[in-house]
Amino acid sequence: MTAEIYSFFRSRSVTESVSVSGFNFDKDHRKGIIMMKRSVRPLFSVVFVFAAAAATLCFRIIVSGGAGDPFVASDVGEIQKLPPVFNATLLTFAAVDLAQDSLRRDVEQLVDGNFRNARNNRQRSFLSAGRYRLDIGARSARGGPLDLRSPEFYRLWLESRRYLQDWWRHRRFESDVMSNMVNVTSKMAGVLGSGRKYRTCAVVGNSGILLKGNLGKAIDSHEFVIRLNNARIGGFEQFVGSKTSLSFMNSNILHLCARRGGCFCHPYGENVPIMMYMSQAVHFLDFAVCNTSHKAPLMITDPRLDVLTAQIVKYYSVKRFLKETGKPLEAWASLHGGAEFHYSSGMQAIMVALGVCQKVGIFGFGKSDSAKHHYHTNQKTELSLHDYLAEYDLYQDLVETPEAIPFVSDKFKFPTVIMHR
């Protein structure tokens, strides 16, 4: 290439001398040619350097396979996917659980057998049938409320205390808990094999926006379908589908089921596994009561996942609060329920799906002025202890920029997420 460039300038000077002198190179003309060559040398040097650099780059691309050059690709990737920058103050604030102290007191009281003081003001206690009676329907031998002094209750208490102590012992922050979700949920015998992730999963929320589209077939086409809080599907199949692989709920739903005869909590069939997160420690007694009567597995979410989920939703809530209000960080708690603030069942179900699925489809999450809060009820208002808008921000990041989600270990690879609106 450099020889061609030099030949170009050389031929140009010869041609000019021929036209002028007819191949008669006198002394003056030779001087002109020499001066011309000297003037070209600086330009020639620049062109030579550029040509050499271009040749080197072309050689590297050819040797490495063109567009698949790992050197070039890694440089571009680093530029396009810079690691997110998190606000340290915001992370620290979001990591603080305002309900930790009250929860610890509840656990200690329940372990000691003090059921009357270990109650949450947000929900009605299960102790509603007298001083020594536990209203759990037909679970007692007599078919009525269970006497707290009976051997049957003592057995259930010992069992629930064991569950509670184990849950409390593991309730801590662990950034990589998502990577172990497949093994945690492998208890779903015959449904999820240990170490295998589902190809596609659908998490079906209960928003009224589902009634605006016929997504039933799309939902049922997924390998694994998760439904929330026993939402009714009869009569709504064209909107919400009919397939259910896992019933996900919060423990308040199980508490209501425990008050029925036989602890019935199977709107999707008795063989559908149930998973729930514990919204109150006192519900471990309900879990002990119902666990033996369920044909399909009755599971509790990993408490480490509960902690991770709580920190993530608080981070997004505080972030949105600061952006929209401009108020100081300390003002967030009083406007968001303080210790009562909590993630929704839908968000927790999505967190589970992220850990056990290769591709996650999210249906029925979101709201509209023209749609009901729940497709199957007449509820019009949202619960104040949830920050749904903050959770929607999270879902958007799951679709577009999962690396922007805090607290999750870099070792965990997020699956592909699609929002169906």
Assign residue 113 a region: left if phi > 0, alpha if psi is -120 to 50, beta otherwise? left
Same domain, 135 and 110: yes
Query: Which region among 64-68, 89-93, 274-278, 305-309 has the lowest average model confidence (pLDDT)?
Result: 64-68
Q: Under a CB-based contact definition with an 8 Å cutoff, are residues 267 and 232 in contact?
A: yes
Query: Are 149 and 48 in the same domain?
Result: no
Burial (CB count within 10 angstroms: exposed 0-12, middle 13-18, buried 19+), residue 310: buried
**Is 70 exceeded by the pLDDT of residue 200?**
yes
Nearest to 420 by CA among 235, 199, 200, 209: 209
Tally of structural domains, the chain: 2
- Domain of residue 44 covers 2-80
State whether 71 and 101 are in the same domain.
Answer: no
Comparing C-alpha atoms, which of 359, 357, 380 is closest to residue 368? 380
Do 151 and 232 reside in the same domain of the chain? yes
**Final residue of a structural domain among 58, 80, 102:** 80
H helices within 65-99, ranges in order? 70-80, 88-94
- The answer, yes or no, to whether residue 81 has pLDDT greater than 50, is yes
Asked whether residue 20 falls in the same domain as residue 131, the answer is no
219, 72: one domain: no
Q: Show which of 80, 101, 117 is a domain's final residue.
A: 80
Choose one of 42, 62, 80: the last residue of a domain.
80
Indicate the pLDDT class of residue 180, thresholds 50, 70 and 90.
Answer: confident
Q: By CB neighbour count within 10 A (0-12 exposed, 13-18 middle, 19+ buried), where does 351 fall? A: buried
Quick one: 163 and 309 in the same domain? yes
Residue 146 to residue 211: CA distance in whole angstroms: 43
Q: Tell me, what's the pLDDT at 101? A: 94
Q: How far apart are CA 3 and CA 15, in angstroms?
A: 18
What whole-number distance in Å separates Cα of residue 359 and Cα of residue 366? 20
Per-residue pLDDT reduced to its tens digit, 323-370: 999 999 999 999 898 999 999 999 999 999 999 999 999 999 987 766
Q: What is the CATH number of the domain that holds 172?
A: 3.90.1480
- 188 compared with 31, residue with greater pLDDT: 188
Q: Does residue 326 share a domain with residue 300? A: yes
Half-sphere exposure of 222 (CA within 13 A, CB side): 31
* Contact call for residues 137 and 147 (beta carbons, < 8 A): no
123-164: pLDDT as tens digits: 333 443 333 344 444 344 344 566 667 788 888 889 999 999
> Do 142 and 270 lie in a common domain?
yes
SS (H, E, C) 183-223: HHHHHCCCCCCCCCCECCEEEECCCHHHHHCCCHHHHHCCC
Count of beta carbons in the 10 Å neighbourhood of residue 272: 19
Q: What letter represents residue 99's amino acid? A: A
Cβ burial, residue 56 (10 Å; 0-12/13-18/19+): exposed
193/278 same-domain check = yes
Among candidate residues 124, 122, 95, the one with its CA nearest the CA of residue 384: 122
C-alpha separations of 373 from 81, 208, 363, 381, 405 in Å: 37, 5, 14, 7, 27
Same-domain check for residues 40 and 187: no
pLDDT at 401 over 90: yes
Give the three-class secondary structure for 301. coil
pLDDT in tens, 244-301: 999 999 999 998 888 776 788 889 998 899 999 999 999 998 898 888 777 788 899 9
- Same domain (yes/no): 195, 260: yes
The region that residue 414 occupies, defined by phi over 0 for left and psi between -120 and 50 for alpha, beta otherwise, is: beta
User: 365 near 215, Cβ under 8 Å?
Assistant: no
pLDDT at residue number 77: 45
